[in-house]
């Protein structure tokens, strides 16, 4: 035990955690494991990228981009999954499928789907970013269905308030039954702004910009309301490479909004993820808010991308917010509590390096083998988490 494969390339910080929690029933997920492939109840890898989550009648519904090896970043449908506990997900099928020869054809871009229920029309509305393959149109789109899982009927794509829209986030202010489109207005010279725009009463169009973050040049927006404060999270624009996601907070959506601050330990690039949605679990004991990000691979192999879901801690008096890393944890959606299994950490720096690999102040690099000895096992099946990070030559101490 404790012998690791040869490095493919210069590498990083390394931690091993062995947790004493054998899985009793392998078919049921008991933990959220940030960054690991996530299997649905049918045994298939969950494909719900850049997603959105809603709660309805005691169940959670996760909408996201279907990604296959052959898609190369283009539209092959929006998947929807349901779950009673946020851990185990049933595949409910395609919420929206591509339609040949239309603006949601298999040669187009349909991204960042988010669903919301409209009371007035008793209709589910599925919003998304709509584009052509070179991202030259920058529009929003909607599809509707009487049923949460669809299939959704495509309605239209449009330029919100005559403007452009890049990425897409949706915030349903349940307390005031209003919904907002969150988006950036693109990379043209006059753009680079981030907008919060109120939807009209049917939630099928945008009627007014409520706030604009001028020249902030961020993307991948997601928002939640804590009960007294609004928080909006956005990432920088670095393509599919992760960066340090920032948060702003305000008592009113129209502002004033706070200055921005980072949500995760600097240097981790938000634990290698980009913001997409926030899950608000209003439990009997506590409210828990999960940051949900995408751990993207490259545009060519998006289907290998995984999900990073982590609990957030924040302070409504100061607006400070940070995401806490856990190798694995469980959430009880009834009580809202988070349980983190305890384990033993082994630092890679204390391991034995052979071959061409060598250790410097805080990184292990080169092509070789790292052996960590004396890892204690229980004799039972148990979790082993391996955490590594590529700091691209920059040391990340602590
Ligand atoms: C859509 O186009 C593809 C590729 O040309 C074709 O294989 C498929 O049958 C078409 N689907 C429909 C519903 O026409
Ligand atoms: C996408 O739309 C832009 C703006 O109309 C256009 O310049 C570009 O050629 C389009 N790309 C494709 C692949 O059609
Ligand atoms: C919605 O769900 C109901 C009940 O499952 C079903 O009878 C109906 O056909 C569904 N409607 C659509 C449009 O899928
Ligand atoms: C909301 O906007 C959409 C798109 O423009 C439009 O079809 C719909 O009728 C609007 N709803 C209301 C209540 O104005
Ligand atoms: C690492 O070393 C092994 C042999 O020990 C070799 O097969 C492999 O190609 C090397 N990888 C790189 C990236 O140099």
Considering only 5-19, 72-86, 174-188, which range has the smallest mean pLDDT?
5-19
Distance 122 CA to ligand 3 centre (A): 14
In the chain, where the domains are located: 1-20+341-398, 29-331
- Name the residue with the closest Cα to ligand 3, atom 10: 147
Confidence of residue 356 (pLDDT cuts 50, 70, 90): confident
Enter the pTM of the model: 0.89
Nearest ligand 4 atom to the CA of 155 is: 7
- Return the pLDDT at 71: 86
| pLDDT exceeds cutoff 80 at 395 | no
User: Does the beta carbon of 133 lie inside 6 Å of ligand 2?
Assistant: yes
**Are the C-beta atoms of residues 33 and 310 closer than 8 Å to each other?**
no
Write down how long the chain is: 398
- Between CA 50 and CA 110 the distance in angstroms is 11
- Return the pLDDT at 127: 99
Q: What are phi and psi of 6, to 5 degrees?
A: -65, 140
- Return the pLDDT at 236: 97
**Are the C-beta atoms of residues 266 and 323 closer than 8 Å to each other?**
no
Per residue in 77-94, pLDDT tens?
999 999 999 999 999 999
DSSP track, 127-176: EEEEEETTS-S-EEEEEEESSTT-PPEEEEEE-GGGS--EEEEEEEEGGG
Q: What is the CA radius of gyration of the chain?
A: 22
User: Does the beta carbon of 159 lie inside 6 Å of ligand 2?
Assistant: no
Just give the CATH number of 29-331.
Answer: 2.115.10.20
Pocket of ligand 4 (CB under 6 A): 200-202, 204-205
- Between CA 212 and CA 188 the distance in angstroms is 16
- Return the pLDDT at 365: 73
Give the closest ligand to the alpha carbon of residue 197: 4
Give the closest ligand to the alpha carbon of residue 356: 5
| pLDDT exceeds cutoff 70 at 320 | yes
Neighbours of 388 (CB within 10 A): 14
Confidence of residue 10 (pLDDT cuts 50, 70, 90): very low
Q: What is the DSSP code (8-state) at residue 330?
A: E
- Name the residue with the closest Cα to ligand 4, atom 14: 200
Distance 226 CA to ligand 2 centre (A): 41
- Return the pLDDT at 390: 67
User: Does the beta carbon of 6 lie inside 6 Å of ligand 5?
Assistant: yes
Consecutive H or E run containing 272? helix 269-272
Nearest ligand 5 atom to the CA of 9 is: 13
């Amino acid at each position: 035990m404790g012998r690791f494969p040869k490095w493919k390339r210069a590498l990083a910080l390394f931690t091993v955690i062995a947790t004493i929690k054998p899985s009793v029933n392998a078919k049921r997920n008991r933990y959220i494991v940030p960054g690991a492939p996530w299997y649905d109840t049918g045994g298939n890898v969950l494909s719900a990228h850049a997603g959105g989550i809603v709660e309805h009648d005691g169940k959670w519904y996760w909408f996201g981009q279907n990604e296959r090896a052959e898609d190369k970043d283009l539209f092959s449908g929006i998947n929807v999954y349901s779950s009673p506990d946020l851990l185990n997900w049933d595949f409910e099928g395609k919420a929206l499928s591509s339609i040949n020869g239309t603006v949601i054809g298999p040669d187009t871009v349909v991204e960042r789907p988010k669903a919301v229920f409209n009371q007035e029309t008793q209709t589910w509305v599925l919003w998304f970013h709509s584009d052509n393959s070179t991202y030259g149109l920058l529009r929003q789109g909607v599809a509707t269905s009487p049923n949460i899982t669809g299939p959704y009927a495509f309605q239209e794509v449009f330029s919100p308030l005559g403007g452009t829209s890049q990425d897409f986030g949706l915030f349903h202010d349940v307390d005031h039954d209003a919904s907002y489109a969150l988006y950036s207005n693109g990379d043209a010279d006059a753009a680079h702004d981030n907008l919060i725009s109120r939807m009209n009463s049917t939630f099928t169009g945008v009627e007014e910009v409520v706030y604009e973050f001028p020249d902030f040049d961020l993307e991948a927006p997601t928002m939640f309301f804590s009960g007294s404060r609004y928080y909006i999270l956005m990432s920088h624009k670095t393509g599919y490479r992760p960066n340090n996601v920032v948060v702003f907070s305000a008592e009113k959506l129209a502002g004033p909004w706070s200055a921005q601050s980072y949500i995760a330990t600097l240097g981790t690039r938000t634990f290698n993820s980009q913001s997409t949605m926030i899950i608000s679990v209003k439990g009997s004991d506590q409210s828990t808010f999960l940051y949900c990000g995408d751990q993207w691979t490259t545009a060519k192999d998006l289907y290998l991308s995984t999900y990073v879901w982590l609990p957030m801690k924040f302070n409504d008096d100061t607006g400070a917010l940070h995401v806490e890393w856990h190798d694995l944890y469980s959430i009880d959606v009834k009580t809202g509590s988070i349980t983190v299994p305890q384990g033993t950490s082994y630092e890679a720096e204390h391991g034995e390096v052979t071959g061409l690999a060598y250790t410097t102040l805080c990184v292990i690099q080169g092509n070789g083998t790292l052996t960590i000895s004396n890892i204690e096992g229980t004799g039972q099946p148990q979790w082993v988490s391996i955490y590594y990070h590529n700091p691209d030559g920059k040391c990340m101490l602590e």
